[in-house]
Chains A and B, each alone.
Chain A
Amino acid sequence: MKGRPLNLSLLFFLIITFIMLIFMFEAYSTLITISEVQPLPRRNSITYFLSKYTGRVGQFNFTVETRTVELLPAGDYVNSAVITLYWIIEAPPGRNGRNFIISVRLYDDEGRSLTSGSVTVCLPKGTNSGSHTITLSSTSIDDVAKVETSIRDSEHWC
């Protein structure tokens, strides 16, 4: 078992190989540094639908617009929504205005309804704006992917 000493070319080859490997590992290490990884999105967008209603009964015209939708947070949950409306209502003499049904519904990413609520309000005749609170069942804000409002004529004067 008497081996010959390593010659210079073999030593050179081994040293070069080690240097290349060290640089390669170093390059890999640099690329996967955790601090350079930005947070990834679980949900990076939410859609709101602000509804508008226009209608007419006889000579009386109605315009009701959703101007603001606000989900009221309680920690990471929401349990009510405030909708601010702007309206132009015409009504016959002796009537205060027109009843409308205001609704809000929350959806998840798959389009499934999470919760909903509605309220019937009397919108006084004339041009005006006002806010209305709608109670919802407690829902995690992180589950909400879409918020949709709707305005319907209740077909009654008030």
Chain B
Amino acid sequence: MMKKTLIIFIFIILITTTLAYSTAIYVGDVGQLGASEKTPVAKYNLRVYSVSITVENNQITSITITIAISIPGTYNIYATVTNGTCRAIATWTNVDLTMTPSSLLSSLTPQCSYTNAGATVEVGGEPA
């Protein structure tokens, strides 16, 4: 009788503990994964202060961007230049970014024509 009571008691403790733990790790959304509601996971904003293109013979040959980040760290940065159906991408890997703007320069391949009504430049970044 005592053995059965002991076993049932132990299993109740284990099940309760497991359920409590499971509940704890599912609380909150993805933004709070691994953290309590008081300490949410940090979210960063990429800040692009300037975009400059170099044009030679009506071809966009290179791009210079000035960027900063709200949460300092190492990031992979890309810039996509689109004009009509032409699309060129510049990438910078393992860039140490801070809240102070810094400049990045890269040549572009392929070299898109710079035609009406203009060119679209998308600058993005993700943690390295």
Closest to A35 in B: B34
Interface of B toward A, CB cutoff 8 Å? 1-3, 6-7, 10, 14, 18, 21, 25, 30-31, 33-35, 39, 41-55, 66, 70-71, 73, 101, 114-127
> Closest chain B residue to A66 by CB distance?
B118
Question: Is A42 an interface position by the 8 A CB rule?
Answer: yes
Across the interface, A4 reaches (CB within 8 A) one of B3, B7, B41, B124, namely: B3
Verify if A25 is at the interface (C-beta below 8 Å from B): yes
**Segment from A67-75, A95-103, A111-119, A120-128 that makes contact with B:** A67-75
B126–A41 CB distance below 8 A: yes
Q: Which residues of A43-92 have CB atoms within 8 Å of chain B's CB atoms?
A: 43-54, 65-71, 73, 78, 84, 86
User: Which residues does chain B contribute within 8 Å of A46, judged by CB atoms?
Assistant: 46-48, 122-124
Q: Is the CB of B41 within 8 A of A40?
A: yes
Q: How far is the CA of A54 from the CA of B39 in the complex (A)?
A: 53
Cβ–Cβ contact B114 & A69, under 8 A? no
**Can you list 11 pairs linking A and B with CB atoms under 8 Å apart?**
A6-B6, A34-B39, A37-B35, A40-B31, A43-B46, A44-B126, A46-B122, A50-B121, A141-B45, A141-B47, A142-B47
Q: Which residues of B have CB within 8 Å of A43?
A: 45-46
Which residue of the partner chain A has the closest CB to B14? A21
B31 to A, closest residue via Cβ: A40
CB distance from B20 to the nearest CB of A (A): 11
Residues of B within 8 A of A51 (CB): 117-118
Is the interface on chain A under 10, 10 to 19, 20 to 34, or 35 or more residues? 35 or more
Per the bound structure, the CA–CA distance linking A114 and B31 in Å amounts to 27
Separation of A37 and B36 alpha carbons in the complex (Å): 13
Also in contact, A45 and B114, with CB within 8 A (given A33-B34, A73-B101): no
Task: Decide yes or no whether A39 CB sits under 8 A from chain B.
Answer: yes
Flag if B52 contacts A84 (CB, 8 Å): yes
| List of 6 A-B pairs having minimum Cβ-Cβ separation, nearest first | A3-B2, A45-B124, A70-B50, A51-B118, A68-B52, A42-B43
Which chain A residues in 1-49 approach chain B with CB under 8 Å? Answer: 1, 3-4, 6, 10, 14, 17, 21, 25, 28, 32-34, 36-49
Pick the contact of A44 from B10, B18, B116, B124 — CB < 8 Å? Answer: B124
Establish whether residues A50 and B70, one from each chain, have CB atoms under 8 Å apart when the complex forms.
Answer: no
Q: In the complex, are the beta carbons of B44 and A39 less than 8 A apart?
A: yes
Q: Are A28 and B47 in contact (CB under 8 A)?
A: no
Docked Cα-Cα span, A69 to B121, in Å, equals 11
Q: Is the CB of B35 within 8 A of A48?
A: no
Nearest CB in chain A: distance from B40 CB, A: 9
Q: A33-B34, A70-B66, A71-B49 are in contact. Are A48 and B120 (CB under 8 A)?
A: yes
